[in-house]
Chains A and B, each alone.
Chain A
C-alpha cells in the first residue's frame, strides 16, 4: 500500500543555514506521527514543508503517492492547525468552518450541512454565529480543528496546537485530538516540543535535533532503547541522569564517577577500560538498604503527595523518583541500587548507545 506521506532525502537551506538534513520519513495512512525536539530543531520547518509553506531544497516528498514538487499549498489537500489557530477574525465560526468549501464549489446548503455535522462532532453547535474574539482559548482551538476536519484532507498537520492552552485543558484536548484522529481514520503529523504529548498521543515518534532525525520509532521503543544520549535525555520525565564512568577490567561492570566510586554490574559484556557515559533513569533508581550499590547524601526531597523526587548532593547530582512518600530527608545517606537491565551505556565521544 502506498504510504500517505513519503519523505526521502529532504534537505532545506535558508541561505547558509542548513535547516533540514537528509530527512527520511514514511507515514502510512491512519498513522499519528509526532515530531518532537527542542526549539530550532527543524520540526516546524519539516511540517511546513509538508504543507508546502516552505520549499524544500532537495529530496522528494510525496502525498498519497503524488510528487509534491512545485505543487502549491492549496493543491496539496492537507489541513493545518496553527499554534495561533489563525482563525479569520472577520468571520463567524460558521464562516471559518466553511471558508475552504467556497473554493471547492460546494453549494451553500451542503456547506451548512457539513458545518453543522462538524460542529456537533467537536461541540461547537451553540457557537456557530460567534466571532473568534468572543470565544475562549479552548473554543478557538476547537474551531481551528473543525476548520481542518470539514475539508476531509489527505493529512492533518498540527503545529504545537495545544501550547496556548492551560495545563488541564491541554491534557483533555490531547485525548480528544487522539480520539478524533481514530474516529476519522486520519493521517496526522503533530509537532510539539513536549515529549509527554508526543509519547501519549503518537503511534510513531520522530525525535529531531539540529535539522536531523535523531531517532524514530514507537514511543516505548524510544524510551526503552534510545539510540543515543540526546534521545535518552529528551524522552522521559524527569530526565535521565548521566554519570561519567569506566568499564571495569572484567568487562561485566562499570565504575561510576560518583563519591565512593560505586561499581554496578552490567549483566552483559562491554569493552574493558572503555570510558562511557552511564544513563540511569530516575524511576529506575531504588532505595534499598539491603542491596545498596552506592550511598549518596540527600540534598533535597520534594513530594507531590503521590510521588517523591529526591536529589543527591553528589557531583553530578542524581535525581530519583519513587511512588509514595519515602523516609529520606536532607542529609541522610541514601542506599541506592538499580537493575542491570536498566543501565544505559553511551559512548563518551559520540553519545551513541553501546
Chain B
C-alpha cells in the first residue's frame, strides 16, 4: 500500500495516471467516433438502425457504390483542384508575406498581427463576404476586373460550372493565408542572422542565399505547413454552404461536402461514412508526412 502511495507521490504512478486520463479522453472523444465511422462504412445503415452498433454486414458494397456514382470522378477532380489550388495559393502568398514582414519596417509586427483577422473569422462569415464580393452582377471582384480592363463582361463565379470551384478556392486561400504566413514567419525568424551574413561574405547573392540558406533551413517548417495545409483544406466545410452549396451540378462539390450531403441531405449514412473513411486514409498519409517532417528538424 505504501509503495503504491509513494509511487503516486514520487511521480511514476502519477505519470501513469496522467497518461491514462489523456488516453481515455482521446479514446472516448476521438477514437470511438472514428471506429464507429469506419464500422458504419462496412454496414447497411438505414433510418431504423441509426442507433445500433450491430447492423447487417455490407462488406465493400458501400465502397463499390460510392466509386460507381456518376459524380464521383467530378467530386474527386474538384477536391484535387480545391486542395492543391488552396495549398499552393496559401503557401506561395504566405511565404511571400512572411518574407516581406521579415524586412524591418515600422509597425511590421503589428501589421502582421492584423493579418490574423482572416484566420479568427468564422468560415461561414468569410464565405458570406466572399459570396457577396464574387456576385456576378453586383460583386466588387467583377467591378475591379472590368475596371482594370481584364474582362469585358461579368464573370459568374458562383454559377459558372467552370469557375465555381475556383470561387471557393480563392476564398479558402484568403482564409488560410495568415496561418501559413505566421508559421513560415516563425520558421524564418528561427534562422540565425549571422548565417545570412556569413553567406553574404562568402559571395552569395540574395537569390542564392534564399536557395542555399533559407529553403534548406526551412525544410521542416515547410513540410509542416504543407501537411497542415492539406489537413485544414480537407476539413474546410463552411465555405461551401456559404458560397456555392457544391453547385451548380456538383461543379464545386468536394469530398467533405459530398460526405455531408450523403449523410444529412440524402440520409444515406453508410455512403457518407464511406466517403469520410476514404478521406481519412488520405489524411493519414498527410499526418504521417507532418510527423516525419517535424521529427527530422535540423538543429545547429
Which residues on A are within 8 Å of B, measured CB to CB?
A: 51-53, 72-74, 76, 78-80, 82, 84, 86-90, 99-100, 102-104, 132-133, 147, 151
Chain A min CB distance to B236 (Å): 33
**Smallest CB gap from A75: residue in B:** B203
B200 near A86 (CB under 8 angstroms)?
no
A103 near B195 (CB under 8 angstroms)?
no
**Smallest CB gap from B195: residue in A:** A86
A80 near B203 (CB under 8 angstroms)?
no
Return the contact of A82 from the options B198, B213, B216, B298 (Cβ within 8 A).
Answer: B198
Interface residues of B in 171-222 (CB under 8 A from A): 192, 194-195, 197-205, 208, 212-213, 216-217, 219
A133 near B299 (CB under 8 angstroms)?
yes
Q: Which 6 A/B pairs are nearest by Cβ-Cβ distance?
A: A89-B300, A100-B202, A103-B203, A86-B198, A86-B194, A90-B216
**Contact string, B244-268, partner A, CB cutoff 8 A, digits 1/0?**
0000000000000000000000000
Q: A74-B202, A86-B197 are in contact. List 6 more A-B contacts (CB 8 A).
A: A84-B192, A86-B192, A86-B195, A103-B203, A133-B300, A151-B202
Bound: A90/B219 CA distance, A? 10
Bound: A73/B201 CA distance, A? 5
> Chain B residues near A73 (CB, 8 Å)?
197, 200-201
Bound: A88/B201 CA distance, A? 13
A80 near B213 (CB under 8 angstroms)?
no
B213 near A88 (CB under 8 angstroms)?
yes
B212 near A99 (CB under 8 angstroms)?
yes
Interface residues of B in 70-114 (CB under 8 A from A): none
Chain A min CB distance to B214 (Å): 11
> Chain B residues near A132 (CB, 8 Å)?
300
Chain B interface size, under 10 / 10 to 19 / 20 to 34 / 35 or more: 20 to 34
A–B Cβ pairs within 8 angstroms, 17 of them? A53-B200, A53-B201, A72-B200, A74-B201, A74-B202, A74-B204, A74-B205, A84-B194, A86-B192, A87-B300, A89-B298, A89-B300, A90-B298, A102-B208, A102-B212, A103-B203, A104-B203
Return the contact of A88 from the options B195, B197, B200, B205 (Cβ within 8 A).
Answer: B195
Bound: A167/B273 CA distance, A? 67
Bound: A315/B219 CA distance, A? 62
A74 near B200 (CB under 8 angstroms)?
yes
B298 near A51 (CB under 8 angstroms)?
no
* Max chain A Cβ within 10 angstroms of own Cβ: one of B195, B199, B217, B300: B300
Bound: A67/B201 CA distance, A? 17
**Smallest CB gap from A151: residue in B:** B202
- Assuming the contacts A74-B203, A104-B203, asked whether A89 and B299 have C-beta atoms less than 8 A apart, the reply is yes
- Assuming the contacts A89-B300, A90-B216, A133-B299, asked whether A82 and B194 have C-beta atoms less than 8 A apart, the reply is yes
> Chain B residues near A100 (CB, 8 Å)?
202-203
Bound: A23/B173 CA distance, A? 53
**Smallest CB gap from A76: residue in B:** B201
**Smallest CB gap from A100: residue in B:** B202
* Max chain B Cβ within 10 angstroms of own Cβ: one of A86, A104, A151: A86
> Chain A residues near B197 (CB, 8 Å)?
51, 53, 73, 80, 82, 86
* Max chain B Cβ within 10 angstroms of own Cβ: one of A88, A99, A103: A88
B201 near A78 (CB under 8 angstroms)?
yes
> Chain B residues near A52 (CB, 8 Å)?
201
Chain A min CB distance to B110 (Å): 20
B201 near A51 (CB under 8 angstroms)?
yes
> Chain A residues near B202 (CB, 8 Å)?
74, 79, 99-100, 103, 147, 151
**Smallest CB gap from B219: residue in A:** A90
- Assuming the contacts A84-B194, A86-B195, A99-B212, asked whether A79 and B298 have C-beta atoms less than 8 A apart, the reply is no
Bound: A73/B208 CA distance, A? 14
B201 near A80 (CB under 8 angstroms)?
yes
Bound: A80/B202 CA distance, A? 9
- Assuming the contacts A86-B198, A90-B216, asked whether A103 and B204 have C-beta atoms less than 8 A apart, the reply is yes
Chain B min CB distance to A260 (Å): 55
A99 near B199 (CB under 8 angstroms)?
yes
Chain A min CB distance to B250 (Å): 46
Chain B min CB distance to A27 (Å): 18
B208 near A103 (CB under 8 angstroms)?
yes
**Smallest CB gap from B215: residue in A:** A90
Bound: A147/B203 CA distance, A? 12
> Chain B residues near A79 (CB, 8 Å)?
201-202
> Chain A residues near B216 (CB, 8 Å)?
90
